[in-house]
Structure 1
């Protein structure tokens, strides 16, 4: 446990402490932790069990040192201020509940000569969800199908995007609008994904998936390896010139848009001879076909395992014996080379090396299949009250771009429109940043960084501001110091 001064809570009889860090109001006996395991009773004092996390950024050679704090004889040197800049995250900071309290830490510092304030608090998010981006052309399930985990619905399938299947998980209706078990299962699943752990889900009418941020998705027990290079039409456009002279026709199988080379504008621009090979499906623009098969886990996200079944007809007025035909998926994982015999029947043949090279090139242009987990939440009025006495001023400051919002130092995308609705990649957020409370809701770090004079103008809790040097001296011994994630921009105050 972190040995720090009591943050809040009320002492009761027999050494019990009532925690008011969230609406559950746990009564914690000595030596025990609350339901969330984030607070504990240490001999009658309520303490945090997780340390405050400080992120440090090493100054590169030749880069001017940013004077975050002055030299002090009181500082023990655990974090060398002369060589590093330090950002106080909200991880381990505590919450503003019961909402009228100022944020746990309001840190004043100087960055590049600008007086800056960072308001640090952990938010209790009942209104939060996850967007799972799954890089695969496999059909995972019908749009709007229920996503199930441990027998409970935790989300649904949403619109597919280019090369990725998308799931929407969590949200206030699954957390609070169903049964108690549904809410608890949903919260536990979201927490595991936010902590970069793996969970298994089943999509009704579709596939069984293993999801983990930063890892390849596992579909029906088989790990995915590639994200498609593009739809069938795009693949035709990319590789048409490389196929010219080596094959007479190419069919790129895709659940969305299947491409046929000699009909496609790319083939026409290369003066390729029409092959007379016609595929099934609904013809769109020349060389582009929709609905060639049902969605599935076969070739190109269809239910096809034998691509020759896609051929509807071969026109004898256009086709010829010896016609060289390549069929491939959008990832190059599946491919077949055939030649037409004297009866214009496609016969599998050995794929010539130049043709095999183009199939390999398709695979080379496919990015690795990954699962991305994006945390999305709305910062409500109570959380904002911990930043300023008039929350609408903070909201407008964020919307204007005057206030930088981060989660554990990680950048957030701010949704347009009203409120403070943010989304962040959990891989960019430091480990162990997320927690939960059994209301149920997720707990996540949130930091607001802005110029000091603006914070005062917004009606911020200026009297509660603590200089970075004083904060480190008071809480530095119990804090955890971690290296700044290399891919994250430094959250300086907006100009």
Structure 2
């Protein structure tokens, strides 16, 4: 691996590092502001090892070991079974230089080239999917880390809340403190660490990739089986003949068994039940309560507050009513008295399996963190002297893009804007520079002849076997 160019200060023995725009002067025995480069006896050394992954064959394809769930022992095999990542490879700054490593190898008899670099991303962020019914905050509400604005709440999806963090405006468009807090948050999340976030007017949530979210100090262990309407539809047969009425309480769509089409098809008679909120279609109600951390993601602790009086023409004394949340975590059983008022009773044993079935169909609550970045012209110039050719080759599927060896989704449209699930990368694959910006690995792989046609830096290609002499690989 070729370190960035350096300049030595004879008076102080400091080394100047040009791996990023900060251009640190590093004294002997110390590291730069990014903690990625250090002055070791007058030589600039990359602190982190360069990662080369052994490929394993699984189900007819190739998977890197960290995706197969097995620990990688670090041992290199023959060239055909190794993949050079950009983790620890270094950057192209000040942007006129070829990528730190342009490696050739033969894969299934085809000459291939992999160009690796650690991109410095100012235009980047993370998208977070948080599996919970609890209300975390209003859409567009500011999300904070260390008290600084680092992003915002976006839409609610099916059983999940979505956050968007980072972006160039938070990294560089605000105060220095905001930029540092944003960079810290992104790197921490991308490296798989837990991070506490607060939402203005909303909740406090601890987010960690691959782990259950912790909302206001409580672990969210279940993702709902479905909205209230879906819950009624999925389990209607199990309630047939066992109960007269079921209300599945949900912040978005609350379901009512007797009015729902599933109940109608099963011949369940009307009960005269009245729900507050806005009726959408039969058995489906919007806005029965405000969002919150109570039943079904609403703000209620007592489910009876969403009911109006029963219709005396349809209801009857002794009518059996089950109210349940969409995760099965909250439930209550009632019977109507002579005045058609619901009176809470002990849950009959025969109804327990239906509540357990709702819980069984709830997937484990989890946080998913996707890093999203745009590969700018300077990064692409490290691959080819004509950067647009690289963009075109990615769009035409001539060039494959990976991030630390993990597959990515490349957005359609201009540029190379990609997303990657950070759980698919080895630990500590992301870094930072104090400009501030996030340092993320990116690799471009293509046929060698295609690389030449792109105007690639063919004079800098080195065989994979040459990397085995390096002492800094892992």
TM over 0.5: yes
Asked if residue 262 in structure 1 is aligned to residue 262 in structure 2, the reply is: no
Secondary structure of the equivalent of 1:355?
helix
Q: Is the 8 A contact 2:54 2:77 kept in 1?
A: no
Match among 73, 78, 81 for residue 81 of structure 1: 78
How far did 1:61 drift? 11
Task: Give 1:41 shift.
Answer: 1.3
Instruction: Write the distance in 1 (CA, Å) between the matches of 2:45 and 2:60.
Output: 42
- Cα deviation code 1:221-266 (max 9, x no counterpart): 1111100011101111111111111111110000000001111111
State the partner residue of 1:202.
198
Matched residue of 1:278: which SS?
coil
- Residue 10 (structure 1) aligned with residue 4 (structure 2): no
1:167 aligns with 2:157: no
TM-aligned CA distance change 1:61 to 1:129, over 3 Å:
closer
- Partner in structure 2 of residue 143 of structure 1: 139
Shift of 1:370: 0.6
Q: 2:27 aligns with which of 3, 26, 29?
A: 29
Residue segments in structure 1 that go unaligned for 5+ positions in a row = 65-76, 481-495
3-state SS of the aligned residue for 1:314?
coil
The answer as to whether partners of 1:5 and 1:47 remain within 8 angstroms in 2 is: no
Whole-Å separation in 2 of the counterparts to 1:25 and 1:62? 47
Whether 1:449 and 2:445 are equivalent positions in the alignment is: yes
2:304 counterpart residue number: 308
Partner of 2:372: 376
CA spacing shift, 1:62–1:259, aligned 2, 3 Å: closer
**Bigger Cα displacement from structure 2, 51-60 vs 89-98:** 51-60
CA distance in 1, matches of 2:279, 2:2: 71
Alpha-carbon contact 2:84-2:116 (below 8 Å) kept = yes
Matched, 1:52 2:46: no
Gapped runs of 5+ residues in structure 2?
A: 63-73
Which residue, 221, 225, 231 being the options, matches 2:227? 231
Deviations 1:251-303 (A, max 9, x none): 00000000011111111111110011111100001111000000000000000
- 1:367 equivalenced with 2:332 (yes/no): no
In structure 2, the CA distance between the partners of 1:128 and 1:78, relative to structure 1 (3 Å rule), is closer
CA contact (8 A) 2:139 2:155 kept: yes
Query: Could you tell me how far 1:30 is from its partner in structure 2?
Result: 1.6
The 5-angstrom pairing of residues 270-309 of structure 1 reads 270-309=266-305
State the shift of 1:471 in Å.
2.0
Aligned counterpart, 2:69? none
Checking the alignment, whether the CA contact within 8 Å between 1:6 and 1:45 is kept in structure 2 is no
Partner SS, residue 240 of structure 1: helix
Give 1:432-443 correspondences, 5 Å limit: 432-443=428-439
CA gap of 1:368–1:57, structure 2 versus 1, over 3 A, is: same
| In structure 2, C-alpha distance between the alignment counterparts of 1:133 and 1:406, rounded to whole Å | 22
Which residue in 2 is equivalent to 1:430?
426
Q: CA deviation at 1:57?
A: 2.3
Tell me the SS of whatever aligns to 1:40: strand
Matches of 1:81 and 1:188 in 2, distance apart? 38
Q: Any idea what SS the aligned residue of 1:284 has?
A: strand
Shift of 1:43: 2.1
Query: How far has the Cα of 1:317 moved from its partner?
Result: 0.6
* SS at structure 2 position matched to 1:206: coil
In structure 2, do the counterparts of structure 1 residues 131 and 78 end up closer, same or farther at CA, with 3 Å as the change threshold?
Answer: closer
Corresponding residue for residue 67 of structure 2? none
**How many Å apart are 1:81 and its aligned residue?**
1.9
The alpha-carbon deviation at position 12 of structure 1 amounts to 2.5
Q: Give the structure 2 partner of residue 478 of structure 1.
A: 472
- Matched with 1:67 is none
**Kept in 2: contact 1:377–1:423 (CA 8 A):** yes
Alignment coverage as a number of residue pairs = 462
Any idea what SS the aligned residue of 2:455 has? coil
Deviation (angstroms), 1:32: 1.3
Distance, in Å, in 2 between the alignment partners of 1:198 and 1:336 is 35
Mapped to 2, the partners of 1:103 and 1:147 lie a distance apart of: 36
Q: CA RMSD, aligned part only?
A: 1.7
SS of the aligned residue for 2:81 comes to strand
For residues 361 and 154 of structure 1, the distance between their equivalents in structure 2, rounded to whole angstroms, comes to 39
TM-score normalised according to structure 1 size: 0.91
Q: Counterpart in 2 of 1:42?
A: 40
Question: Quick one: structure 1 residues 239 and 81, their matched pair in 2 at CA, closer, same or farther if it must change by over 3 Å?
Answer: same
Residues 61, 212 of structure 1: CA spacing in aligned structure 2 closer, same or farther, 3 A cutoff?
closer
In the TM superposition, residue 7 of structure 1 has moved relative to its aligned partner by 4.1
- How far the C-alpha of 1:59 sits from its partner, in A, is 4.9
More displaced 10-residue stretch of structure 1: 460-469 or 52-61: 52-61
Kept after mapping to 2: 8 A contact 1:404/1:449: yes
For 1:467 and 1:26, locate their aligned partners in 2 and report how far apart those are by CA, in whole Å.
Answer: 32
Rounded to whole Å, the distance in 2 between the matches of 1:234 and 1:96 is 52
119 and 238 in structure 1: CA distance in 2 versus 1, 3 angstrom threshold: same
Contact 1:276 1:319 in 2 (8 A): yes
Distance 1:287 1:116, change over 3 A: same
State yes or no: 1:130 paired with 2:126.
yes
Q: 1:182 & 1:278 partners in 2: Cα distance?
A: 50
The equivalent of 2:68 in structure 1 is none
Shift of 1:78: 5.1
| Kept in 1: contact 2:196–2:207 (CA 8 A) | yes
Distance 1:159 1:209 in 2: 16
TM-score when scaled to structure 2?
0.95
C-alpha distance in structure 1 between counterparts of 2:20 and 2:77, whole Å: 35
Distance 1:249 1:219 in 2: 32
